[in-house]
Structure 1
Amino acid sequence: MELRQLASFLAVVEEGQFARAAARLFLSPPAVTGHIQRLERELGVQLLERSPIALTPAGERLVPHARTMLAAANAATDAVTDLRTDDDLPLRVGVMAPGSAELTPVILRAFRKAQPAIPLIVESLAFAEHTTALTEHRVDLAFVRPRPDDERLNVDVLTTEPRVLILPAAGPTGDADALRLSDVLDLAFVGLSEDVPRVFTDYLYFASARNGMPPRRGVDEAATIQDVLTSASAGRAIGAALYSFSRLYHWPGIRFVPVIDAPWAQSVLASRRDDIRPQVRAFRALATTLARDLGPGLASASEAAGPVILPEP
């Protein structure tokens, strides 16, 4: 699927004629016809009725996604049109797995396609690198959770989600369908190193509900989500996460159980406030556009059970 094919498709939909669509795109009518025919062959469905011009059900479903893809590509292009690409440094993107759920790979793929001349390096981040990877200039942008409270950083919210516990399936609460904060505050959570910032420890341990009391900690210390999952599956401690983790991780011996009265939390794209390079602006613009237009749809398509992620009430 190519952007020019989507542009031809939308032009015909909006103009109602192949000739007017071709004039608008400065193409010949046969070229526009060829774009749409190739798009239909690639998708394996008919998108337009020809006489008269009308959308098929498949075409109606494609229209909003085509507009989003073109808008995202245009936003990225507009933000970097003044760049010289012969001496660009790589754009380094950190991901505290899994980033912003299904949006993370979509955003990375879209940027590579929209700006193939800009080198892109993706690096994994541990919990302790929640803000330091950016402030120490090891990465230029970072998919992290929860929202940092560092005034040196710009923050673009990509998802706002309910909270879940990561529990041993064989544990005393592992068979619950839902829990409340009062049910979980006395459980033993995974430990975190002293290098992990306070905003992350408060997020993991539901600090706002503890009235200053410290959490019980298990014997394991976690540096990444993989460590949390391993500890929980072994029945040694529990963890906490965003709701989207229940779609993305399927480990033996664990369950994700909603905490129905816990405050919702956010996954974000963070960057340095003083980094005004066009390629950083382009990545942020692309990410926020895709999060706004595709986020709920991606969550819905991947949902195995439970509610679709909605904006925080």
Structure 2
Amino acid sequence: MALDLRLLSSFLAVVEEGHFGRAAGRLFLSPAAVTQHLQRLESQVGARLLDRTATPVVPTAAGVRLAGHARVLLAAANAALDDVAEVTAREPEAGRPLRVGIMGHGSAELTPAAINAYRRARPDVKVEIRQLNFTEHVTGLLEDRVDVAFVRPSPDDERVVADVLTTEQRIVVVPERSPLADARATGVGVTDVADLPFFRVPRHTPHTFTDYLYFDDRARRRSTECALTPQEVLTGVVTGRAAGSGLRSFARYYAWPGAVFVPVLDAPWESSYLAVRAGDDNPEVRIFRALATALAKDLGPIINAHPLHAG
């Protein structure tokens, strides 16, 4: 039986903190994720490891025994990473920052979580954050301006590979005086938004992004105001010149006065991605990608759990 080091790390954090909430904060996870880790670990070892009725939480006899092994295993894993890092530091890439591109708000809460996790894991590597506009869905990577990129939807280019991080309900953004604003709590259908004056993007914008942006060809034909960033979209919305579309988490990050976020109930849910250049052998890119995808497994279900509004 192979033990997942993440499960051991969560278990040891609870043992040392005596509290699930404090352990979750220490690991930058949710308490629900830590609880799930402990349940999986107890299922694997076939024994109850913690006395949850005690205050603080304490390990059982089996838990005390496993905690000793967990410390040894995690110390060995950290030593292995330090050894690899020492070799990596002597390689030609040493001193080069990791350039992280973010389109809009990226992958919601996963974006800062992944960046902060990388900074803790690789404190000696400088991280540069670069904002990407809608036309840089692929070019930021291909023109070597960023090393990893939080984008949506998945790039349709064999030179780029991408991992799904979140999957969310689609929304439209309209001004308060729009007739659709009254449906913010009930939602609308794709046919209801087809005649909205969606903003347009430059012709050189990748087709995968424009296909994602508009819900059907009628919406594409009616697009008017030009926008390259979420801020420009919202400016067009609140001034009544255009409508926008996005993922559900857009509403949490861009709650502008005068802008109303309406769920599109029958539109397929869409994903956000972490994209990298195919075949990139930069070890820092591999480390960042591994951390982001691991966090997506823990935080993704929380972010994706519920629609913006029940409909």
Contact residue 196 and residue 219 of structure 2 kept, 8 A? no
Gap change, CA 1:306 and 1:56, over 3 Å in 2: farther
- Out of 182, 186, 201, the position equivalent to 2:195 is 186
Counterparts of 1:192-207 in structure 2 under 5 Å?
Answer: 192-206=201-215
Structure 1: segments with no counterpart, 5+ residues: 1-5, 14-31, 44-51, 61-66, 308-313
1:200, CA displacement in angstroms? 0.7
Gap change, CA 1:272 and 1:56, over 3 Å in 2: farther
User: Could you tell me how far apart the structure 1 residues matched to 2:219 and 2:254 are?
Assistant: 30
Gap change, CA 1:159 and 1:59, over 3 Å in 2: farther
SS of the equivalent of 1:149 reads coil
SS of the equivalent of 1:188 reads coil
1:83, CA displacement in angstroms? 1.1
- Out of 266, 270, 280, the position equivalent to 1:275 is 280
1:231, CA displacement in angstroms? 0.6
TM-score w.r.t. structure 1 length? 0.72
User: Could you tell me how far apart the structure 1 residues matched to 2:242 and 2:163 are?
Assistant: 32
2:61 aligned with 1:54, yes or no?
Answer: no
User: Could you tell me how far apart the structure 2 residues matched to 1:144 and 1:79 are?
Assistant: 33
Question: Counterpart in 2 of 1:251?
Answer: 256
1:97, CA displacement in angstroms? 1.5
- Out of 100, 105, 108, the position equivalent to 2:107 is 100
Gap change, CA 1:102 and 1:37, over 3 Å in 2: closer
- Out of 230, 235, 241, the position equivalent to 2:240 is 235
Contact residue 90 and residue 121 of structure 1 kept, 8 A? yes
Question: Counterpart in 1 of 2:43?
Answer: none
Question: Counterpart in 1 of 2:302?
Answer: 297
Question: Counterpart in 2 of 1:88?
Answer: 95
User: Could you tell me how far apart the structure 2 residues matched to 1:106 and 1:214 are?
Assistant: 34
User: Could you tell me how far apart the structure 1 residues matched to 2:302 and 2:54 are?
Assistant: 17
Deviation string, structure 1 residues 160-209 (Cα, Å, up to 9, x no partner): 11110011111122211311111111221111112211111111112xx4
Question: Counterpart in 1 of 2:180?
Answer: 173
What's the Cα RMSD here? 3.5
Deviation string, structure 1 residues 201-228 (Cα, Å, up to 9, x no partner): 111112xx43x8842022x210001111
Paired residues, number? 258
TM-score w.r.t. structure 2 length? 0.72
User: Could you tell me how far apart the structure 2 residues matched to 1:297 and 1:213 are?
Assistant: 31
The letter of the residue matching 1:195 is H
